[in-house]
Chains A and B, each alone.
Chain A
Amino acid sequence: MELVCPAGNLPSLKAAVDNGADAVYIGFKDETNARHFAGLNFNNKQIEQGLDYARTRGTKVYVAINTYPQPDTFAKWETAVDQAAEYGVDALIVADIGVMDYASEKWPELRLHLSVQGSATSHEAVRFYAEQFGVQRAVAPRVLSVRQVASLVDHSPIPIEVFGFGSLCVMVEGRCYLSSYVTGKGPNTFGACSPASFVRWSETDSKLETRLNGVLIDSVNKDENVGYPTICKGRFRVNGKTSYAIEEPTSLNTLPILPDLLRIGVAAIKIEGRQRSPAYVANVTRVLRAAIDSCLSDPDNFLPDHAWLSELTSLSEGVQTTLGAYQREWQ
């Protein structure tokens, strides 16, 4: 079971490699990837340095080109594919059918992974990408229960990667327009959810408010913490009650079900968080590495270590974690 870790910059890449990542995934400095944030991602020189650092230590490097080009911008995604291919990266993580069509035609030897943004939730959908474009691995959206992941792994023609830890998209990835509805910019087209330029934090006498392009996402007392205004983690009114109507600020954590994921044959575990700091990447990678190694050596008696769990919880959104859709009760 491969451990795939995020790197938003060179120090994070080194942190992931040094702490036991089997593979790191990175993106270019533009909207061709789904973590298109200011100050993040890799220019050409940094990619060369990162590849060199990872390769000499036996770690693979994947490049995410996992957003959706439009008629006028397709050439930019072609350039991204060409650059990654010319660097000889270990795989591209892709979502768009047109981009896959281009990559598989121009670079037939280049390994392709289907991004979670490709939104393939069944073995039939995965089969489409495997048969049409020779995709060799698919990342499953965070909408399946453990049993459904097991069935997907059983019937899929290619290995399946799942999310193991990090911020939790509660909507099926690749088909969520909440951010673009409010701001005009969303994951598919712009590579970011709730872009910072639309976020406003404001104080009244007693409250701290967060708004996204003017829409009130949450309002808390000044002594409380308020999260980043992602729409799905806001507090709203439904049927006269105010609550986290969609999801609470929380992070996905699969340590408690690691033996199940191993047993059902998941090929790789991915950590979310290219937007996070090198220290975060180092700590999460180290904990997941230790947990996977412990699980691999004795899956029947695996129990997540207390120190691991408290470390991951302290690094989580809202300082709490969930199994998300893996657990049916969450749904």
Chain B
Amino acid sequence: MSAASTSTRVGLSLGPVQYHWSKEKMLAFYRTIESSPVDIVYLGETVCSKRRSFRHQDWIEVAERLQAAGKEVVLSTLALLEADSELGYVRKLCNNGKFTIEANDMSAVNMLAGKTNFIGGASLNIYNPRTLNKLVGLGMIRWVMPVELSKSVLAGFQKEMPAGIESEVLGWGRLPLAYSARCYTARAHEVSKDDCANCCVEYPDGLMLSTREEESFLVINGIQTQSARVHSLVYELNDPATGPDIIRISPQSENTERVISLFDQVRGGKLGATETSHELKQYAPVGLCDGYWHGAAGMAACGGAGGP
């Protein structure tokens, strides 16, 4: 389904799994998603091409099952491309002929531009309406706002958004903050990336990085760095008229289904956002944040009904 087709109902999406999970864990996770109330599921490895426990054919099989279960399925591309082999795989995804692509870097945009409609991922730098409109002209039908932008920036976009273009915002999950050539998980294991032996599979929610006074600060996830706090905008589901068309939930190793269920109940008016706050905090062991949404430091907890 398309979220924009039901104008007052916010769409719920499930972002790609950011971490390296075993094949068994990944399969079991997506089986539970088949019957969950998310409308859209983004699939694929977006962080590191060396993670090969899940192969292309595995993704396509999961995609087909989720589609048969009524989900809109999108295949997401790698955010940081370095090797020619990675470019080759992005090309293969872009030419899949069946599923829409979420382009997470400009290489994917260039492969799709003018040929196939695509979704602009949060790691494309779409900071103003002129950029958005240029990409819409090349086939972008939905865009995920960069995580560091605020609700008032979204409102500025909405004034100039072409009809039918959907906006999506990360509403639950650790914030992806940076990508690097260097693998920090391998560095923590005192080996280089070429010798990583896929050690990130040991950390299904990433590896905590704390300050020297034991404040949980960032999470290392291979070449990606995330916030330690979980960004939560559950309260936006109370106010569908002014917010994004779609709210994204980013998978974590435990309790994702329950988070989806709580978000869905708030969306349906069965629960107030404040009533979910106590339970949601349990799923964010080092705390919640929502500063970016309020134009503040991303790590800040500015609050809103039921927010951090």
Contacts and interface: CB of A to CB of B under 8 A. Distances in A.
Contacts of A235: 212
Contacts of A95: 125
B182 A325 contact: yes
Interface stretch (B29-37, B129-137, B162-170): B129-137
A245 B178 contact: no
Contact of B107 (A96, A99, A122): A122
A188 B127 contact: yes
B156 interface: yes
Interface residues of A, number: 71
Interface string B177-209: 111111110011000111000000000000111
B110 A125 contact: yes
B298 A181 contact: yes
A246 B221 CA distance: 12
B179 A175 contact: yes
A238 B178 contact: no
Interface stretch (A2-10, A212-220, A261-269, A313-321): A212-220
Interface residues of B, number: 71
Interface string B91-115: 0000000000000011111110100
B103 to A, nearest CB: 10
Contacts of A174: 125
Contact of B131 (A101, A127, A238): A101
A143 B110 contact: no
SS class of chain A's interface: helix, strand, loop or mixed? mixed
A239 interface: yes
Contacts, number: 220
A181 to B, nearest CB: 4
B217 to A, nearest CB: 6
Nearest to B210: A237
A220 to B, nearest CB: 10
B175 A181 contact: yes
Contact of B134 (A101, A131, A144, A183): A101
B242 to A, nearest CB: 15
B134 A98 contact: yes
B158 to A, nearest CB: 9
Contact of A180 (B79, B148, B207, B212): B148
A42 B110 CA distance: 35
Contacts of A123: 87
B153 interface: yes
Contacts of A178: 177-178, 218, 225
B82 interface: yes
Nearest to A154: B84
Contacts of B24: none
Given A71-B159, A121-B81, A172 B128 contact: no
A239 B225 contact: no
Contact of B128 (A69, A215, A330): A69
B178 A175 contact: yes
Interface string A116-137: 0011111111011101100000
A325 B177 contact: no
A184 B297 contact: yes
A143 B128 contact: no
A183 B81 CA distance: 28
B250 interface: no
A279 interface: no
B125 A237 contact: no
A215 B189 CA distance: 25
Contacts of B160: 71
Nearest to B149: A70
Nearest to A242: B212
A71 B157 contact: yes
A237 B210 CA distance: 5
A127 B83 CA distance: 16
19 contacts: A68-B128, A71-B160, A98-B127, A101-B130, A101-B134, A118-B106, A124-B108, A125-B81, A128-B109, A177-B177, A181-B227, A189-B148, A213-B297, A216-B212, A237-B211, A237-B212, A238-B210, A242-B212, A328-B194
The 3 A-B pairs with the shortest beta carbon distances in the complex, nearest first, are A71-B156, A98-B130, A124-B107
Given A131-B110, A175-B80, A238-B220, 13 more contacts: A71-B153, A97-B125, A98-B127, A118-B125, A170-B180, A175-B125, A180-B298, A181-B148, A184-B291, A184-B297, A215-B299, A239-B188, A245-B209
Interface of A: 68-72, 74, 95-99, 101-102, 118-125, 127-129, 131-132, 142-145, 148, 151, 170-172, 174-178, 180-184, 186, 188-189, 213, 215-219, 232, 235-239, 241-242, 245-247, 324-325, 328-331
